Amino acid sequence: MKIAVAGKGGSGKTTVSGTLARALARSGHSVLALDADANPMLGISLGVGPEETDRLLAVRQGVDAGETPHEPTTEGMVEAFGTRAPDGIRLVVASRIDSVAPGCQ
C-alpha cells in the first residue's frame, strides 16, 4: 500500500502523514515514510527530534551540492538518507534531484 499526502501550504500534510505512519506502524504494518517536502519536517512529527531531522536535510542538501554521492539502489537510499523513527518506522528524506548521475534512481 502506498499513501501520498499532498496539499496547500500549512494545510496539515506533515501532521496527517506522521499520524498515519504511526497508526499504521502500531497496527503491525512495516512503514517507510518518505519526506519529499522542500522543507522536510516529518521527522519532528514522527518523533526523531530536531537534530536528526536537521541532519537528514543536510544529507539531502549534500547531494544537491555535489558533496554526497548519489545512491543507485533503494536499499542504499534508505541507509544514506534515512533514519529509524519510533514505532519501527523508517524515515527517508529525498526528493527530486536537479543533476542526475548515471544509474541514479
Ligand X SMILES: Nc1ncnc2c1ncn2[C@@H]1O[C@H](COP(=O)(O)OP(=O)(O)OP(=O)(O)O)[C@@H](O)[C@H]1O
Q: How far is the CB of 5 from ligand X (least distance, A)?
A: 8
**Which one among 1, 6, 7, 14 touches Mg ion, defined by CB under 5 A?**
14
Footprint of ligand X on 29-88 (CB under 6 A): 37
Cα angle value 64/66/67 (rounded, 5°): 110
Confirm if 105 and 72 have CB atoms less than 8 A apart.
Answer: yes
Which range in 14-22, 52-60, 68-76, 87-95 contacts Mg ion by CB under 5 A?
14-22
Of 35, 54, 48, which Cα lies nearest the Cα of 92? Answer: 35
User: Measured between alpha carbons, how far is 53 from 31 in angstroms, rounded to an integer?
Assistant: 18
11 binds ligand X (CB under 6 A): yes
**What residues line the site for Mg ion (CB under 5 A)?**
13-14
